[in-house]
Structure 1
Amino acid sequence: MVDFNELKDKAQDLVAQHADTIKDGITKTGDFVGEKVGHDKVDPIEEKLHGLVDKAARNDEPPSPTPPVV
């Protein structure tokens, strides 16, 4: 049986590791398409995609508390 939570975690880790590369690809694609149809149409979509990458890279679980140093 497929553990979808495990797949989600792996995908988040992968996006987190390569977020800059993914965003660079989005920017380059946005620049290319923007030259064809206009940057005013493409730039808002590009910004939203960057936000989705940031959101996907974050782990929504709260950070585990660190034990106090004694």
Structure 2
Amino acid sequence: MEPLGQQLAEMVNVFASVAGAGIAQAVLVLVSTLLLLGIGVVSIYVVIGVLGDFVGSGDTGYVDGQPR
């Protein structure tokens, strides 16, 4: 029979390794989710900007707010 201190130490080591794996997975999921959200926001911003350039590119006859 192992001493109680050694049994407790082994239990703590097992718990720490399981908890550590869970924390690592949670951090990985969080980072990948934030990365995908960032890519999505930038993509939407670029698409809206490109569409805005096409829609707003008509000739108004003004340059910098002044008539030509």
TM-score by length of 1: 0.35
Structure richer in strand, relative to its length? 2
TM-score normalised by length of structure 2 = 0.35
Q: Return the structure number with greater relative CO, CA threshold 8 A, min gap 6.
A: 1
